[in-house]
Amino acid sequence: MLAFRPLPWEYGIRNLLRRPGRSLLTLSGLTLVVLLVFVVVGFIRGLEASLAVSGDPQVVLVHAMGASENVENSSIAARTPSLLAASLPGIQRRTGSGGTPIAYASPELFLGTQVNLSEDEGGTLGLVRGVTPAAALVRRSVQILEGDWPKAGEVLVGRLAATKLGRNAEDLAVGRTLTIENRTWRISGRFASMGSALEAELWCPLEDLQHAMKRQDISVVAFLLSPGSSPSDVDEFCRERLDLELQATPETAYYEGLNKHYGPVRALAWLIVFLVAGSGVFAGLNTMYGAVVGRVRELATLQALGYVRRAVALALVQESTLLAAAGSLVASAIALVMINGVAVRFTMGAFTLRVDSVALMMGCGMGLLLGFVGSVPPALKAMRMPIAEGLKTL
């Protein structure tokens, strides 16, 4: 019985270089498949990362009863912030001018409404939040990148607001104007929020938005709790005051609920990953079968020279895996340069695709798996081929 002696490592590399056309086409196909995997996985990772950084563990949202997952549908009285600020002991406070304590409470009116730019006719659905200067105290992740806090008749745009509106960033530059609820607003500045969902919003003065919407109520009150305070204390107080019909939700729990809500979307995205990978496997099978059919005499000659069938099959697997590894590396470079950080629109607003270490591991792992699995059936076929019949093949 012949001893197992593998073919030299450089044999597979030379074979790939002998057929540059076929190798280049196979490499391009594998690169495209892995790149599609990166796009879908980057979408999933970006969505999860955006929701993960959106909640502040020290912030609690007080809203109408039953609106814990849709605060834009909440409606509470405008007097609620001052009433709760005066009654709740766990709210963080600071001393203002004249020794008056100031509670870290941000009354907000949040809604989705039509936003028009100067050249728009139909407009686009945007996320608008009416705020007071107290929002800067409660929303600790918000940083103004350029411009100033909005004054009367002005709006502060998030870093991804242009993406949510389907426009270029230049269309929402500081100094330009847009129309919300038949009222013209001047853009006073741009802000970022560490990649959170807030970056897709437009912020304007609360009173101005109430006047434009002809509303006197607000949607939610965001409280920043002092260290050691529990959100459950706020919720317990709200439930005791039955006349207020309020409910308190920790901001982290609110975005965790949104994350669960988008669970089917992530499941569909994973299904797309496996479908794309499956198509790549079939493409690899077709290519490798073509390589085996075109090299029957060569493979039979290797066996006649003393190489066992396992060694020949291993050489075929090696060639396919080398191409898959090269395609994965090329796709990784393209993904890091052209896909990572690309902003996309979504129902919750907008977020950026994220090609992180997990995405790279999954994409490259999928690419290597495609190369290996796609080469196994042709390699098995090569092992079953009679030597004499192979040598007679033209």
Residues of 277-293 as b/e, b for ≥16 C-beta within 10 angstroms?
beebbebbbebbeebbe
Q: Distance between CA atoms of 139 and 149, rounded to whole angstroms?
A: 14
Q: Is residue 145 within 8 Å of residue 191, measured between CB atoms?
A: yes
To 10 degrees, the CA torsion angle through 262, 268, 270, 274?
180
219: left (phi over 0), alpha (psi -120 to 50) or beta: alpha
Provide CB contacts within 8 A for 256, sequence distance 6+: 51, 55
**Helix or strand or coil: residue 52?**
helix
Beta strands in 196-298 (DSSP E): 201-205, 220-224, 246-250
pLDDT at residue 218, rounded to an integer: 93
pLDDT at residue 349, rounded to an integer: 84
Instruction: Note every long-range contact of 114-122, with CB atoms under 8 Å and residues 24 or more positions apart, other chains counting.
Output: 114/180, 114/181, 115/165, 115/178, 115/179, 115/180, 115/202, 116/178, 116/179, 116/180, 117/165, 117/167, 117/171, 117/176, 117/178, 117/179, 118/176, 118/177, 118/178, 118/179, 120/179
Q: Distance between CA atoms of 341 and 57, rounded to whole angstroms?
A: 26
pLDDT tens over the chain, length 394 residues: 455 677 777 776 777 777 777 778 888 888 888 898 899 999 999 988 998 888 888 999 988 887 767 788 888 888 888 888 888 878 888 876 666 778 899 999 999 888 988 666 667 889 999 999 999 999 999 999 999 999 999 999 999 999 998 888 888 999 999 998 889 999 999 999 999 999 999 999 999 999 999 889 999 999 999 887 888 878 787 777 656 688 888 999 888 888 888 888 888 888 888 887 777 777 666 766 666 666 667 777 777 777 777 777 787 788 888 888 998 999 999 999 999 999 998 877 899 999 999 999 988 988 888 888 877 777 777 667 776 666 666 5
**Helix or strand or coil: residue 191?**
strand
pLDDT at residue 102, rounded to an integer: 80
pLDDT at residue 1, rounded to an integer: 47
**Helix or strand or coil: residue 154?**
strand
Q: Is residue 141 within 8 Å of residue 56, measured between CB atoms?
A: yes
- Nearest Cα to Cα of residue 327 among 14, 30, 15: 30
- Nearest Cα to Cα of residue 259 among 101, 36, 55, 103: 55
Residue 24 tokens read as 């280049």
Q: Full-prediction pTM beyond 0.85?
A: no
pLDDT at residue 335, rounded to an integer: 95
Q: Distance between CA atoms of 199 and 32, rounded to whole angstroms?
A: 31
If one counts every other C-beta atom within 10 angstroms of the C-beta of residue 275, the result is 12
